[in-house]
Amino acid sequence: MSGFPRFRLFPRGALSVFFRNALLILPPAFLYAMKVDMPHIFLIPAVLLGIGLFRKRALSYTDRPIIYCATAALVLAVIPDMIVTVDEARFGLFDLMLRSSLVVPLLLYTAALSCFFSPNSYRIGVTAALTLAAMLVCGDMFQSRDLSNTVLFFLDEPLRRYRESYAVAALIQAMTLPGYFLLFSRSVRLETGRRRTAVLRMCLLILCTLLIPVFAFSASRFYDANTRLFRHLELYFLRVGMRQNQGREMMLLSSSVNLRATLHPRLHGDPAKVLLRARSESAPGYLRGGVYTSYQNGRWSGKNTVSELQAIRRATVLSDSTFFIRSYPGAPDSVPDNPRDPPKPPLRRMDLYFDGLLTRGTIPAPGNTYRLDAVADGAELTGHGIFQLKQWKRDGGCTLFTTTSSPFPAYYGPEMDAALFRELTHLPDSVSGPLRKMASRLVAVRSFGSPREKIEFLTAFLNRRCRYSLDFSPPRDGRDPVLFFLESGRKGHCELFASSAALLLRAMGIPTRYVTGLICEERHPYSGYYLSRAADAHAWCEAWLSDEKRWIAVEATPFSADIPMARDRRKPEALSSVLDLLKQTVQQAFADIRRGYFADAVLTVLETAVLFLHRIFRNPAVLLLLALCVFWILYRRFRRRRRRDEWEIPRETRQLAAMFARFERRVAKRTGLKRPSGSTLQAFYGDFPEEIRSVVSEYESLRYRESPPDRERIRAWERKSGEVLSHLKRGCGSFRNGV
């Protein structure tokens, strides 16, 4: 048996290295996987370490392996984060600030992939630093006592006692670190050649490692003793973050509307700012974002009943959820098996991508929307038809499905009863008298056969009586802004027209609600999607027709060049349109990846690339520039190839050619005869003396041989040519005469 080679499943010492790496990397992976209920955060590092166990050779420290490993770690961390939604109730302050759902997996995967490289002091330090950073982030405190896991349900007890679990994991890692550094201490001593220095360095490492759990325990005790202070700091940072977010984005969908100060400051400063983009076959039209039923002293508010929408999830979809209103008139009874199947007309689909609009879960949607698809844990629908998503991934956008392609629909509910009738016809005492007198005068003008005729007459009256203007100054004497607008000012923005129409219709006995939202009708010049800008924020109202038993939308704002849907839209600049198309492409591709539709993301990028090529080939100037660029590239490539061909000539041959060129120049200088560029050597030097012909013939035999000439023969030829030139110098006159 001794003659047979010993079989080894693993390389020598691989098991020891594997266990030390596992005890260092897997404790924080286990903690975070249990914390966020995602087993892949633990499984991926474990699988990577297992793959490294079977490797016979370590990776070298070159650019390609390092780039590949870094890219693999980034992909493994980003793709699941885009697909899976994490409950933010499991996060503390530093989790939210550092975005630990992305940072911790990236640290762990990078540490696991670093074990593929050959071990040295630098690699060990990097691996240890990554795992310690992941462990520190996992130490952020959160309320875990009432949490439970869905996938890792068997870890509910360790999750609820997260502090004890963290202490055990930190202790395992702290006990592993000294042995982890000692494993490679020999290589350190051999490299330095100083045993005493290596021992001192190792002792310092062990001391610092042992201080880590002490520091963590002390920090935990300090946090517990000052919990109230840290909670105040957490709320402060959250408020600061919200204010910064509002500075970049516009919060137009609020719980109340104040007519005295309703216009957002950036509506004047940056009216062209894009708030959302919608991809649809036709213009989405009016998107409802807020419904208000109570009016008091210039402020609209509302108390809406909320119903939970049941989520429909399929095994074929990674993260997208479907929320369906089954009772919507005209809606299909079921949802197709494939959520991406296009609906049959008159049903319509539109994809919304949010850019500068801060929604906080409220989705602006047409009134006839019966289905909503998004990456969210849940959805609610108010009694007046406003969608609100829970734990929504905004960068994934959402998809709306409507029953018709009408650009101005109203929500079909709720059904009118006595209590709702009183609520939607109520007028506050401060405006009841003047508004009822004005309404009675309008009704007395002529007889009306239906509520619809009253609505049409009222909108025509407001269009004649008042003028649209964004320069509305609320009254300083405390008067109601609607009364001031109707009686004195007679100019104002859309919110005043909509409020006036709603209150006057209530005075006529028609139930009415006030609606705010966005208008999305501007089509992008190069692609099939629509834009909604800051200037497209709008207000209107919806009225109940008692004879028809349904709600209708009422547009009271007059048709003017200043209103969003009819203002003077100059042709957008080509550069800004191209940049917006690029932004939409990136946003749409990222949203498709977030929602699990990877093929759609690739098709989106390809579609944009084809569109760009089409635009390029239609422009003669761009074609000319492109042709010049292609010509320049080909010319540079040809020059490079010629130089490469020259460089392929052996050095001795190039040296010999340079010597012969100098020889020819000196011959031409002595004789006054220069060889033409197209003439061969034999043809030109055929009538020269024997000495010259001999030098030329020997050059040809050396220059055009298969193997490069020897240096000795090159030197001999150089001496011979020099002697011939010196003889030519002494007998220059007789030589000229001979030639």
Give residue 92's region: left, alpha or beta (phi > 0; psi -120 to 50): beta
The reply to whether 364 and 455 lie within a common domain is: yes
The reply to whether 685 and 619 lie within a common domain is: no
What confidence score (pLDDT) does residue 572 get?
61
The reply to whether 511 and 635 lie within a common domain is: no
**Domain end residue (candidates: 542, 563, 584):** 563
pLDDT digits (tens, 9 = 90+) for 719-736: 888 888 887 754 444 444
Residue 194 banded pLDDT, cuts 50, 70, 90? low
Instruction: Flag whether 584 is in a domain.
Output: yes
The reply to whether 152 and 78 lie within a common domain is: yes
Residue 227 banded pLDDT, cuts 50, 70, 90? low
What confidence score (pLDDT) does residue 176 get?
81
For residues 584 and 247, the model is more confident at 584
Q: How far apart are CA 482 and CA 487, in angstroms?
A: 9
Whether 241 has a pLDDT exceeding 60, the answer reads no
Instruction: Flag whether 538 is in a domain.
Output: yes
**Domain end residue (candidates: 538, 563, 588):** 563
pLDDT digits (tens, 9 = 90+) for 672-717: 888 887 788 888 888 888 888 888 888 888 888 778 888 888 888 9
Question: CATH number, domain at 517?
Answer: 3.10.620.30
First to last CA, the chain: 91
Nearest to 95 by CA among 136, 150, 37: 136
The reply to whether 540 and 678 lie within a common domain is: no
Residue 173 banded pLDDT, cuts 50, 70, 90? confident
The reply to whether 487 and 510 lie within a common domain is: yes
Instruction: Flag whether 243 is in a domain.
Output: no
Instruction: Flag whether 207 is in a domain.
Output: yes
357 contacts 290 by C-beta, under 8 angstroms: no
The reply to whether 255 and 361 lie within a common domain is: yes
Per-residue pLDDT, averaged over 269-276, amounts to 83
- What range defines the domain where residue 207 resides? 14-230
Q: Which amino acid is at 565?
A: M
Report residue 371 CA to chain centroid gap.
25
When mean pLDDT is compared over 88-102, 177-191, 424-438, 586-600, the highest value belongs to 424-438
Nearest to 591 by CA among 429, 729, 396: 396
What confidence score (pLDDT) does residue 554 get?
95
The reply to whether 537 and 680 lie within a common domain is: no
pLDDT digits (tens, 9 = 90+) for 48-68: 988 887 777 788 888 888 888
pLDDT digits (tens, 9 = 90+) for 472-528: 777 878 889 999 999 888 888 889 999 999 999 999 999 999 999 999 999 998 888
The reply to whether 164 and 298 lie within a common domain is: no
Whether 2 has a pLDDT exceeding 50, the answer reads no
Q: Which residues contact 306 (CB under 8 A, 6 or more apart)?
A: 380, 381, 382, 383, 388
- In 3-state terms, what secondary structure has residue 401? strand
Q: How far apart are CA 335 and CA 371, in angstroms?
A: 9
178 contacts 172 by C-beta, under 8 angstroms: no
The reply to whether 638 and 655 lie within a common domain is: no
Residue 543 banded pLDDT, cuts 50, 70, 90? very high
Total tally of structural domains belonging to the chain? 4
Q: Which H or E run contains 665?
A: helix 651-671
Rounded to the nearest 10 degrees, what angle do helices 494-507 and 451-465 cross at?
140
* pTM for this model (two decimals): 0.64
pLDDT digits (tens, 9 = 90+) for 395-427: 889 999 999 878 889 999 899 999 999 999 999
What confidence score (pLDDT) does residue 349 get?
93
Whether 186 has a pLDDT exceeding 60, the answer reads no
What confidence score (pLDDT) does residue 739 get?
42
The reply to whether 582 and 540 lie within a common domain is: no
Q: How far apart are CA 172 and CA 176, in angstroms?
A: 6
Instruction: Flag whether 5 is in a domain.
Output: no
Strand order in the sheet with 311-312: 311-312, 321-324, 369-374, 398-402, 348-354, 274-280, 529-533, 522-523
How much of the chain, in percent, has pLDDT values that exceed 70? 80
What confidence score (pLDDT) does residue 5 get?
46
**Domain end residue (candidates: 642, 674, 696):** 642
Q: Which H or E run contains 552?
A: strand 550-554
Instruction: Flag whether 591 is in a domain.
Output: yes
pLDDT digits (tens, 9 = 90+) for 316-330: 556 788 999 988 988
| Preceding omega of 364 cis (within 30 degrees of 0) | no
Whether 276 has a pLDDT exceeding 90, the answer reads yes
The reply to whether 512 and 451 lie within a common domain is: yes
Instruction: Flag whether 308 is in a domain.
Output: yes
**Token pair 């019966």: residue:** 370
pLDDT digits (tens, 9 = 90+) for 68-90: 888 899 888 888 876 676 766 67
Q: Which is it for the CA torsion 227, 231, 236, 240, positive or negative?
A: positive
Instruction: Flag whether 728 is in a domain.
Output: yes
